[in-house]
Structure 1
Amino acid sequence: QIPPDGLTKWIRDNNLDLVIFNEEYDWNLVMAAKATGIKIATYLDYYKEDWKPYMSLYDTVLCSTKRTFHLVKDFCKAYYIGWGIDTGLFKPLISNERKYTFFHNAGWLGINYRKMTPAVILAFDAISQYNPGITLFIHAQTELERLPPEIITLVHNNSRITYHVETVPAPGLYHKGSILVFPSKLEGLGLPLLEGMACGLPAIATDAPPMNEFVKDGYNGILVKVANRLTRHDNIAFPEEIVDVADLTFKMDYLIKNPELVCKMQKNARNSIYNFNIFGKKVNEIISPSFELPVDSDNTLRNRECLTYCK
């Protein structure tokens, strides 16, 4: 917990022109920063409806998804910026190592199995019965035992499912797969989706925002229809979009049977991703005129006395 006067002192001690918050939950901090007279902005991909009365405190709101932009644009100064990936780091790797057919980034599994890891395992187990050469690599940061008992049994009984627990630095383990399976229920941005695509993996993803903002069906991946929508207990403004497991199974099987399409999608996935340079210039084009911050000829900020405050 950071006291407002601590933030105020930090701003003044560093002679800041601008503070960019990252979805700050403590509005006393935002108001304290505003009271110093400097410009304040926020990066936003997570949003709750009870934030609405406070959003106008920000001089600029940077939205990484079109969904968030359309939610807030009518009551604050919002800009859609998209997102950028370090495409020099996240890139396809040429290796003699045999790739797994499917790659799924399970992370910490998420609230209510947000990443839909049980559904991925169920779908793969079904199609593996009649596709003997396929494999699934699950990169997780928590133990298998956190999954439902029946799913744990499937993993133990299917030798072509690898559940790998490890925290690794960027660019992670995307290179181990050929197709990214990303049927997430809910994402603010969905960074693993963009990272995987930058690594040349076409994505099987939920046909809901923000996933369908980045995955164009049949071009750089394939979309899975939504079977149910639920409101999460924390009242986040976005619903949980639960995929149809039968459709997920069908789409995974479809790509297995169409290797030429997968090859085209791999190139398209890579080419669909903004790199940091393009993204940085876009952000600077918004921030510099808005806050009257000078830029150099390459459109980068000349005034370095602006720092980001992240809770």
Structure 2
Amino acid sequence: MQIIFPLIKAGSGSDVFTYNLVTGLKKTSITTNIKYLPLWSGYIPYLSRLFCDTSEYDLIHSNTWNGFAFKNNLPLVVTEYHLVNDPIFLPYKTSLQRLYHSYIFQCEKKSINVADSVISISNYTKNKIEEVFGYSDSILIYNGIDETIFKPFDVENQRVNSNNVVPSKNKILFFSGNAIIRKGGDLLPKIMNELGDKYSLLISGGLRKNTHLNAPNIISTRKLSLQELVETYNNADIFLFPTRLEGFGLSVAEAMACGKPVVTTNCSSMPELVVDGKGGYLCPMDDVKAFADAIRHLAEDENLRKKMGIFNRQRILDMFTIGRMTNEYIRLYRKLI
């Protein structure tokens, strides 16, 4: 079986999803190839097929934004990563985003109509596909985390390498990803100002570029290597993620796999990952005080943080491993070929 993955490097979770799935498939007898497309083709999906020869493959696995462009006699699988036309996010869009997303709506609708299988990466996304597109047959396959890489350290009480910029007595929070409005990046300075100087927030550069946010207790790192990313998850006391819309939430799952409690938003797919009161706390969207209160509560109780971290690690092992995800896709591919 040979599968091709057309991919635009967007510097987002869709890239990580594709890398994770291809990594899992390569451990089996399945041959895979990621075909990188020009960045501009994201604005003209119709032309994507010109850069992707699928003649030597048995199946095409793309996303809903451009999947329709590759439809031919081969089976086509498309994955919905996060629904940009979700009504919940409409108030946070610029006029230009609204215009562009109305165009993307038409592209996604075409992909969903012609695909042999449509994949949702959370129940929330599955329900929203039905609400927005009227399509009720999408298949739920949760994203998977490589639990052999994202795992708790064996040695306790390690701290970040940048101890010279993080006061040793401070509680360390971590935000991983692109600090955009959709992920609540604009809320981070407000939350940290509410918390004060006994807390430090590390923000990774994500897959795009470092984001410097205006608060004295926020430290924006350079782009982290995979090893550094895992170390930073482990060195943090709490993972903070005040998102407004997630198809799944890869960084949340990575933090959970590293045995960390999570403070995130009670919206979209987050309740499918984080069990409120057991693996962390789910806060109302945009409620800065609720986020700060939840963080303070966790910061004051080391035993609770450890208990929640253990719970989260086991939840990943039970539900969100890369092996489970890969096996579910293999079963789907075999049905289609």
The match for 1:109 among 179, 187, 190 is 179
Query: Stretches of 4+ moved more than 6 A in 1?
Result: none
Per-residue deviation, 1:192: 1.1
- TM-score for the superposition, normalised by structure 2: 0.67
Residues 11 and 270 of structure 1: is their aligned pair in 2 closer, same or farther, counting only changes over 3 Å? Answer: same
Q: Does 1:57 align with 2:117?
A: no
What is residue 307 of structure 1 aligned with on the other side? none
| Counterpart contact for 1:103–1:137, Cα < 8 Å | yes
In 1, Cα distance between the equivalents of 2:122 and 2:332? Answer: 16
% of aligned pairs identical?
21
Query: What SS is found at the alignment partner of 2:192?
Result: helix
**Contact 1:20 1:42 (C-alpha < 8 Å) held by counterparts:** yes
Secondary structure in 1 aligned to 2:256?
Answer: helix
Matched, 1:207 2:266: yes
- 1:298 corresponding residue in structure 2: none
Q: Which residue of 2 aligns with 1:46?
A: 82
Q: CA RMSD in A?
A: 2.5
One of 123, 131, 156 as aligned partner of 2:191: 123
CA distance in 2, matches of 1:96, 1:53: 52
Matched, 1:98 2:159: yes
**What is the match of residue 296 of structure 2?**
253
Aligned residues: 250
Give the partner amino acid of 1:102.
I
Summarize the alignment of residues 67-78 of structure 1 with structure 2, pairs less than 5 Å apart: 67-72=124-129, 75=135, 77-78=137-138
CA displacement, residues 228-256 of structure 1 (integer Å, 9 cap, x when unaligned): xxxxxxxxxxxxxxx21111111111112
Aligned residue in 1 for 2:102: none
Cα shift readout 1:126-181 (whole Å, capped 9, x = no counterpart) = 3336xx5x44323334242xx4xxxx2x41xxxxx251321122241312202101
For residue 236 of structure 1, what is the aligned residue in structure 2?
none
The correspondence of residues 188-199 of structure 1 with structure 2, limited to 5 A, is 188-199=247-258
Structure 2 CA distance, aligned partners of 1:26 and 1:109? 27
Q: Give the aligned partner of residue 278 of structure 1.
A: 324
Deviates more, 1:189-198 or 1:42-51: 42-51
Listed as ranges, the gaps of 5+ residues in structure 1 are 156-160, 227-242, 293-311
Is residue 2:312 matched to residue 1:269? yes
Counterpart Cα distance in 2 of 1:26 and 1:92: 37
CA contact (8 A) 1:107 1:142 kept: no
In the TM superposition, residue 185 of structure 1 has moved relative to its aligned partner by 2.0
Letter in 1 for 2:307: K
Contact 2:179 2:186 in 1 (8 A): no
| Aligned counterpart, 2:219 | 163
Q: CA deviation at 1:106?
A: 5.2
**2:35 counterpart residue number:** none
CA shift, 1:275, in A, is 1.5
Cα deviation for residue 91 of structure 1 reads 0.9
| CA distance, structure 2, for counterparts of residue 42 and residue 5 of structure 1 | 15
Map of 2:246 onto structure 1: 187
Contact residue 82 and residue 247 of structure 2 kept, 8 A: yes
- Say whether residues 1:19 and 2:89 are aligned partners: no
Aligned with 2:204: secondary structure? strand
In structure 2, the gaps of 5 or more residues are: 1-40, 86-104, 161-169
Higher relative contact order (CA 8 A, sep 6+): 1
SS of the residue 1:11 aligns to: coil
Q: Could you tell me which amino acid in structure 2 is paired with residue 126 of structure 1? A: E
SS in 1 for 2:252: helix
TM-score normalised by length of structure 1 = 0.72
Match of 2:201 in 1: 136
Q: Indicate if the aligned counterparts of 2:67 and 2:115 stay in contact, CA closer than 8 A.
A: no
Larger helix fraction of residues? 2
